[in-house]
Amino acid sequence: MNLTTTGSVSSSSSLLRNFTEITKMRLSVSVVFSSVAGYLLGAETIDFLTLLLLCLGGYCMVGASNVYNQIIERDLDALMERTKSRPLPAGRMGVTSAFILASVLTILGIVLLYIINPTTAMFGAISIFMYVSLYTPLKTKTPLAVFVGAFPGAIPFMLGWVAATNDFGIEPGTLFMIQFFWQFPHFWAIGWFLFDDYKKGGFFMLPNGRRDKGTAIQIILYCIWTLLASLIPAFGVTGALYITPVSAVLVAGLGVWLIVYALRLYRLKTETAAKQLMLVSVSYITLLQLIYVLDKFIR
């Protein structure tokens, strides 16, 4: 391999690395997973073209939100250990390049989702607007940013249902509510164990600004509300969205698991306990969505 070829491979590798980092690939894929779960729950028959459009369009929308976010926060990201090596603060990508990428992803995402149906595109656009224009600037001003950010964060699960049905009703509303409540213990756990790092960037993530019993109690309460919301489909009051008693027991067990780790954080108040709660919360929402989907196709 000559030097030109080596340089070309290195450049391609660097571009791919920058793309995956600035669009937060792991986070974006997890969000797309939520949308796919919502789609499978809402679809009477699976249209693989629609599913592909949802995956690609969803990734573009989430990726665009993350790029805009990092453009706005590039100076603050440079102050924190967790984020200082991102493409913008590290100088591996320019602001203009990042903005062009975000704009292309936004347009492409909206077009792909619009092909599915206009309602899906509308919710995708609302998600980007709220994340970039409301949640991002509020993060350095008030802990209420987490509340505002929970709205765009809860859209993906319900977006899949809307993509499958072109309708917003009690079913996607319930999926939205589950993921809405779940985000509070998830993000507050992150805010707890990254408290010192967030402080360097001036971010206010915890509800009362402190790692204390008050914050821990609120985390527990939201875990309980998440559990209760996740069991509503078992009572036959959410239209076409329904889970069997067996699945309800499994979902309840997941909820108890989440609450146990929230109680552990209340008791220990350590960064380790917060990190464990965060990991459990990620496993919780993934397993819950799998149970919902498997319940539909197995019963």
Question: Contact, 178 vs 229, CB < 8 A?
Answer: yes
**pLDDT given for residue 3 in this prediction:** 46
Structure-block tokens of residue 226? 């998440």
CB of 124 closer than 8 Å to CB of 159? yes
pLDDT, residue 2, reads 52
| pLDDT tens per residue across span 238-266 | 999 999 999 999 999 999 999 999 999 99
Smallest CA-to-CA distance from 258 within 174, 182, 155 is with 182
The predicted model scores a pTM of 0.92
Mean of pLDDT over the chain: 94
- Joined together, the tokens standing for residue 111 give 């077009």
Percent of the chain with pLDDT over 90: 92
Assess whether pLDDT exceeds 80 at residue 163: yes
Q: What is the pLDDT of residues 30-71, one digit of tens each?
A: 999 999 999 999 999 999 999 999 999 999 999 999 999 999
Q: What is the pLDDT of residue 36?
A: 97
Torsion, CA 61, CA 63, CA 68, CA 71, rounded to 10: -170
Alpha-carbon span 136 to 149, nearest angstrom: 8
Q: Which fold has domain 18-167?
A: Tetracycline Repressor; domain 2 (1.10.357)
pLDDT at 299: 73
Query: How close are the terminal C-alpha atoms of the chain, in Å?
Result: 56
Cβ-contact 18, 127 below 8 angstroms: no
Q: Domain coordinates of the chain in residue numbers?
A: 18-167, 169-299
- Quick one: pLDDT at residue 58? 96
pLDDT grade for 149, boundaries at 50, 70 and 90:
very high
Higher pLDDT, 209 or 106: 106
